[in-house]
Structure 1
């Protein structure tokens, strides 16, 4: 594989990764909206789109392994490929959590919520901003932005604690246990998405420096 062909292949993988990231971001937004609006049709779209996300993850994975096997890249080229592999895996897991939120929408479709959803959408807004900003940091190769984005995971963790305490209190009424337990899982899914964003930020730093650092520990 000549250098020009190699660069073109890397660019194709890069564009595929960005397409995957865009779909994951969209699915996170749609999944939370489906939950708030109790929109099972939108939830179904999220579940269906996850199949596309999974296919893109596989395409990136196979493309990266093929490039490593045929080109045996070193230095910054190898870091770029390794970063794409790791980020695509994190994105796939984030997409799975969005799908789980959509499935929760379907499970809770039959009854109105025991109280308005306020903290979960607020948590989701922070998570969505983290996803978008991490994508921009990857495109720009900006490790300083990546470090700053990872720090926002603290905000998500604090909101998760508030939601957890609130729902545990609400579930003291046994009639609320079913709905409350599912909403608690949604908060947990969002918290884990933020964790995967932190992972992505760590890989951005690695791509630029060659150093693996734990961010927001």
Structure 2
């Protein structure tokens, strides 16, 4: 780990700063993982795929360290008001970041399975969805570091675009499979990749909601803006 935590933390403010530093580091690692996974898709880059998976234990270790620090702060410091919201939100955010890292590693592994068979299948839709998911994650991590509720709200609204991309991609890949059974294996892997990207989008939105709450003390609406992607996909599955 690049972050030196060997010194003795003597004050409450130092512990809060350490928590923020670990959260930022975790966010940046996860951002990197998602970027590497998308490179593995776009460039058939095996080295990027391996690196995305290799960084996963770093995220897991940071999650454990954040959890330990949060428990210490709650038990010994009795935080109140905005500090309490930030500390509790950090515990939840790390869970979302850890899952995003897992999904990125899964995407990277699956990307390598479609290299040889997927040349006849257009990946433009998947790349477009990946770009949006990555941009939303980057904005969310920035909002988390800056405690910026307005940027968090922008990401919350942008989740609808991710759902719409997923719906379009789902239908496109099903069409490829119907046109030529030889596409089934590659398209199945790509469907899993698309679903993992959609789940990364959901966890990114979770983080945005927690950032908003930590910064303002208010909750965003329980019903997220959606383009009807999941409902439509469910109907398509039933029809098929």
TM-score (norm 2): 0.85
The match for 2:224 is 216
The match for 1:57 is 63
SS of match in other structure, 1:152: helix
Q: 1:37 to 1:19 in 2, by over 3 A?
A: same
1:37-64 deviation digits (Å, cap 9, x = unpaired):
2222221111111111111111111111
The match for 1:96 is 102
Question: In 2, Cα distance between the equivalents of 1:168 and 1:109?
Answer: 19
Report whether the alignment pairs 1:193 with 2:197.
no
Question: In 2, Cα distance between the equivalents of 1:144 and 1:215?
Answer: 18
Q: Is the 8 A contact 1:147 1:215 kept in 2?
A: no
4+ long deviations beyond 6 Å: none
Question: In 2, Cα distance between the equivalents of 1:50 and 1:114?
Answer: 32
Q: Extract unaligned runs of 5+ from structure 2.
A: 1-9, 226-240
State how many pairs are aligned: 214
Q: Alignment RMSD, CA only? A: 1.5
Pick aligned residue for 2:111 from 102, 105, 111: 105
Q: 1:74 to 1:107 in 2, by over 3 A?
A: same
| Structure 1 residue 120: Cα displacement | 0.8
My pick for the range that moved more, 91-100 or 170-179, is 170-179
| Structure 1 residue 31: Cα displacement | 0.5
Report whether the alignment pairs 1:39 with 2:42.
no
The match for 1:158 is 164
1:136-180 deviation digits (Å, cap 9, x = unpaired):
222222212211111111111111111000000101122111110
1:166-197 deviation digits (Å, cap 9, x = unpaired):
00010112211111011011111111111111
TM-score (norm 1): 0.93
The match for 1:121 is 127
